[in-house]
Amino acid sequence: MQPGDSHWHSDVQAPLQVENAASVAWDMEADFVVVGFGGAGATAALEAREQGLSVVALDQGEGGGSTLASGGIFYAGGGTKIQQEVGEDDTPENMFAYLKIETQGVVGDATLMRFCQDSAANVDWLMRHGVKFSGPVWKQKTSYPSVEYFMYHSDNSLLPTSTALASPAARGHRGKIQKGKSAVNLGDSIYLPLRDSALASGVVLERKTAARQLIVDADGAVIGVRALQLPAETAAYREHAKCLARADLITKLYPFFLPGAPVVHRLADRQLAGAKALEDGERVWRTYRARRGLCLSAGGFVFNRGMMAHHCPSFAAGMPLGTRGDDGSGIRLGQSVGGAVERMERASAWRFLNPPSAFSQGIIVDARGARFVNESTYGATIGAAMEELADGKGWLILSSQLVREAWRQIAPGKVLPFQQQLAALNLLFAKRRAESPEALCRKFGFDERTFRQTLGDYARAAKGEIEDAFHKPAEDIRELVPPFHVMDVSVAAKLMPCTVLTVGGLVVNEDTGQARRPDGREIPGLYAAGRTAVGIPSHLYVSGLSIADCVFSGRRAARHAAAH
């Protein structure tokens, strides 16, 4: 795919080809240019400075990206300093054995092992740059622990199917920061120390600068980039920031799944339109030379609705997870010079159930009334199964006893506010009751024979008569008796948002981070990192794995550019 194609859906232009670098009037030059200054970009820039390169970083916003907007989880193991302090036994080999289950060959074994072997050192590197990690450790299964805990099992490592192959170890390292009971926008615990270290080291950050066109020489090597910049210290720059801040405040105070949200969000849309008008009228072109290499680290494309509709339409109904900067521009820049892409049709949909744990003790069925997943698995595992096996559809079925337990489990002070609010919202307004299997099947269109078989098998597993077909732990199985309580947990469920992020991107040389063409040849001068590239989380995501891959891939690209 190239600029001008009907499904391009991007402002990225075809590359500007010049004879050589001397034929361009550069506005700024550096050894290494980074496009996108989130977790991967800040890492690549900082590592490049430590390797002795001069660095200019461009970001179409203020920097931070999805890393800043995240829950601040860094997936690490193999015996990190923090694991040792809290008594979690782990080795790189054990971590590798577990991640082999989740990654399913998305990267080569040598790359995955290197990721595991480098993991503890990457934690040390982050801590040297001011990131704080610590215990205590939360040892039970959960989508996100209480704010008093800073390490937990952010994956499926506690499930029997995993413990049969690898010893469980808590690897979710949460950056040490507290904002009351909030579990969102905690990524500043990781991003801000990285950003501050990078800037202190001499990285030049060009904010509100949107890369639009790569510059290549006569041999096809990437030597720079053209970008549209809203000049700093101007009235337009300040008003642009205010428009975006107002739009973000509106959407934060009134989330899209609340009744009447489309009407309220028109106010946010007007603010975004004002910001767009300022961009169209006030931005100027700037050219940046990259003497040693250019790294694309501008995130994924979940906020580009055209790309979502074309590449992974079944995920388009989910709640985008990331920031407006996840518009696919980094991927499109790579493609514009012949970069190959993979897994563009794949996204990670997070259907979290626990807490309350009572939800995960019920069953999720498809449109026929059949189970298709272990309900106690990590949310992205449930979401992946829902997409691959159930056409994005799913209904959670509980008994009255489980409903009562769910209310007790989300009592004030027992879970985080957002977990309490979402569970209560669905228990109050999304739950539907059916007095019998026949009534339930009529109401939801399930095949009665299939559903009765599902109920029967689950009841026998609850009594210990048979092993659960999906290897659900015995302690998570409860016999379901009428009356039944049903909630829509589909990807498109309105009151239980299913968050989605894209995991496909540019194909890179796994040893160097260089972007590759479809025939496997590297594109001289071009690197990719983070969610702009295919990486460790590009098959199945677990919490913290993306930021960990940002650090791994960002450092990899910078080291190669410095050495070559």
Q: Which residue among 459, 488, 517 closes a domain?
A: 488
Residue 258, pLDDT score: 73
Note whether residue 182 is domain-resident: no
Torsion of CA 551, 326, 394, 143, to 10 degrees: 40
63 and 159 in a single domain? The answer is no
CATH of the domain at 41: 3.50.50.60
53 and 21 in a single domain? The answer is yes
Residue 24, pLDDT score: 96
Cβ burial, residue 134 (10 Å; 0-12/13-18/19+): middle
Contact assessment for residue 314 and residue 391, using Cβ atoms and an 8 Å cutoff: yes
- Determine the Cα–Cα distance for residues 339 and 508; give it in Å rounded to an integer: 9
Residue 146, pLDDT score: 84
Three-class SS string for 258-288?
CCCHHHHHHHHHHHHHHHHHHHHHHCEEEEE
Buried b (16+ CB within 10 A) or exposed e, 479-503: ebeeebbbbbbbbebebbbbbbbbb
Note whether residue 215 is domain-resident: yes
Note whether residue 235 is domain-resident: yes
Structural domain harbouring 476: 352-488
389 and 298 in a single domain? The answer is no
Note whether residue 4 is domain-resident: no
55 and 102 in a single domain? The answer is no
Torsion of CA 187, 112, 294, 516, to 10 degrees: -140
Residue 330, pLDDT score: 98
Residue indicated by tokens 């905690």: 186
468 and 421 in a single domain? The answer is yes
- Determine the Cα–Cα distance for residues 38 and 324; give it in Å rounded to an integer: 12
Residue 182, pLDDT score: 63
Residues of the chain scoring pLDDT < 50: none
522 and 553 in a single domain? The answer is yes
* Omega before 497 within 30 of 0, i.e. cis: no
Contact assessment for residue 268 and residue 247, using Cβ atoms and an 8 Å cutoff: yes
Q: Is 32 helix (H, G, I), strand (E, B) or coil?
A: strand
Domain count along the chain: 4
- Determine the Cα–Cα distance for residues 277 and 199; give it in Å rounded to an integer: 30
Tokens representing 528 are: 């990719």
* 99 DSSP β-pair partners: none
- Determine the Cα–Cα distance for residues 428 and 260; give it in Å rounded to an integer: 17
Residue 260, pLDDT score: 81
Nearest to 284 by CA among 324, 223, 234: 234
For the entire predicted model, the pTM comes to 0.93
Tokens representing 369 are: 């009334």
Residue 180, pLDDT score: 65
